Structure formats: structure tokens, C-alpha cells
Structure 1
Amino acid sequence: MIALMEMYDAINEFMDTGGQVLIVIAAVIFIMWLLIFERFVFVFYSYRSVKKHMVSVWQGRKDQTSWYSEQIRNALISRGTTKLNRNLALIQSLVVLCPLLGLLGTVTGMIEVFDVMAISGSGNARSMASGVSRATIPTMAGMVGSLSGVFTATWLRRNAKKEAELLADSLTVSH
């Protein structure tokens, strides 16, 4: 219990050091990873049953060669692809948003440094240190969040493309 309290205090101190922008960055990273975990759960657990259902619907059709049946096949592939790509654009947007919020933290931290310089009238290093940390910590947090999300988002996009192609291959005309 003491270890949890110490960890909470360390996180709280870190968040205070980074300023208000760091809270926004943390929220964006949390939402991004929540969506990424949802995609992992779908890919590894739910998609198998979705694919099995689509293949059984296709194989249950008597007519698989007419124009109408080809449109049904295309619709099934499109539904599967849509389910595989759900939230990927939002994840990519959050990945891109992280470094931009980090830069916003840099700007607000530097404004704080300039305010201290204007008030004190000199470049007092101690008084500027708080503003410099508020400038660098959000930048680092935005970059770390973006880098952690870019690899998984790329993997999810590649996997969705591969699974869509496999779905299209499994919905072939049986003679």
C-alpha cells in the first residue's frame, strides 16, 4: 500500500512539473491506448467469429456466379474491411496529435520563462528552471506517446489489410 502511495505521489509530482498541457497529453494517450487495446481484442478474439459468419453466409448461397451474388460478395468483404478498420483513423489522428500537444506545452513553458524574466528583470536561473521543465516535459511526453502509438497503429493497419485480403480469398466461388 505504501508503494502505491509513493507511486501516486511521484506521478502527481511529474504531472505538476509538466503543467496543464501534460494532463491533456496524458488523456489523449490514455484514449489512444484504450482504442488500441479494443482493436487488439477485436483482432485476436472477435474477428474470427465475424469471418466465420461471413464465410458461412457466402458458402450457404446456392448461386455464387451471378452479378447479384458478386455484389453480395463485395458487400461481405466491405463489411469485414470496415469492421477491421474501425477506429484506425481515430488512432492515427491521436498519434499525430500527441507531438502537437507537446509543442503546445513547449510554447506555454517558454511563455512562463519569459514572464519570469520580465518580472525579475534578469535571467535568474532558479526562477527560470520551472518554466524550462514545463517546456521540455510535455514535449518528451508527446513524443513518447506518439512513438508508442505509431508502431501499434501501423501493425493494426497492416493486419487489417492482410485480413481483408484473406477474407476476400476465402469468399471465392466454389464449383
Structure 2
Amino acid sequence: MIEFLEAIRDFTETGGQVLLVIGLLIFVMWLLILERALYLFIWHKNFKNEAVAMWKARTDRKSWFAQQIRQQTISRLTMQLNGSIPIIQALVALCPLLGLMGTVTGMIEVFDVMAISGSGNARSMASGVSKATIPTMAGMVGALSGVFASTWLNRTVKSERTHLEDALTIER
């Protein structure tokens, strides 16, 4: 376990301070993704069953008023389904931008070394190049994993909305 933590520390030192921010961002993004997945698999079923039971208990399902209640129920449950998905999508978009910021700060360090040493000393520029490439890689990995998860969440929410609309039928 200690070796694992030391490897993470070394990786973070190699990537610079921006890598810590990217790591925190990815951690928060995956916490939100996990929360949405748990909501979909556990809590949403209860809310859906309550809404369907409430709808089936109605005697009037064809009037304009009943249709407005149906639309309100579908909209309310859809809003609950979407929950933090817009935040997840924003965090996905932010990952590559922070990676780009890491690239810029790493390249600034390379140019500082070149200005101080007066030449292109490869050893002295190596740490700046790693600080330029590692955050970029981390931002892209975080964004790609988040894109797949948010796409799955959006597809599942759309499917659940369709199932809910089908469950709240108009016929009596």
C-alpha cells in the first residue's frame, strides 16, 4: 500500500500541480456518475412504481386535466432522472481544458529553462516536457471515461422516460 501511495506521489510530482486539480475533478465526476447510476438502479424504481400506482388509481385518464397531471408526473420524474447529468457533462468538458492548462504551464517551464541555460539542454528541459504531457494525458483519459459514462446515463434516462410514458397509458 505504501508503494502504491509513493507511486501516486511521484506521478503527481512529475505532472505538476495541475494534475492534482485534474485528479480531484475526475474524482468528483465519478462520484456524481456513481450517484446517478445508484439512483437509476435503486431509487428510481420506487418513484416510478408510486407514479404508476397513482395513475392507475385515477378513474379519469382521458380529460385534459388528467393529461396535464400525466405530463407533470412524467416531467417531474424526468427531472429527477436527469439530476446531476448536466454537471457531469460540464466536468467532462472541463477535463481536456485543464489538461491544456497543464500543457501550457509545462511549456512555460521548458521556455524558462531554455532562457536560463541559454541552450536546449535536454536534461533540464525533460521535467518541463513531462509536466506538459502528463496533465494532457490525464485530462483526455478523464474526459473519455466521462463521455462514455454520461452517454450511457443519457441513453438510460431517455429509455426510462419512454418506459414511464408507456406505463402511464391513457386508455382505461
Q: 1:92 is matched by which residue type in structure 2?
A: Q
Partner of 1:126: 123
Partner of 1:114: 111
Q: Does 1:55 align with 2:58?
A: no
TM-superposition CA deviations, 1:102-127 (whole Å, max 9, x none): 00000000000000110111111110
- RMSD over aligned CA atoms reads 0.7
> TM-score, normalising length from structure 1?
0.96
Alpha-carbon offset, residue 173 of structure 1: 2.1
Q: Point out where structure 1 has 5 or more consecutive residues left out of the alignment.
A: none
TM-superposition CA deviations, 1:9-55 (whole Å, max 9, x none): 00011011110100110011001000000011011111110100110
Q: Does 1:6 align with 2:3?
A: yes
Alpha-carbon contact 2:102-2:131 (below 8 Å) kept: yes
Partner of 2:150: 153
One of 26, 30, 35 as aligned partner of 2:27: 30
Partner of 2:37: 40
Q: 2:22 is matched by which residue type in structure 1?
A: I
Matched residues, number: 172
Partner of 1:82: 79
Distance 2:77 2:161 in 1: 7
- SS of structure 1 residue aligned to 2:50: helix
Distance 2:20 2:45 in 1: 37
Q: Point out where structure 2 has 5 or more consecutive residues left out of the alignment.
A: none
TM-superposition CA deviations, 1:95-146 (whole Å, max 9, x none): 1110110000000000000001101111111100000000000000000001
Distance 1:164 1:118 in 2: 59
Distance 2:170 2:122 in 1: 74
TM-superposition CA deviations, 1:47-71 (whole Å, max 9, x none): 1101001101111112111111110
Distance 1:31 1:56 in 2: 36
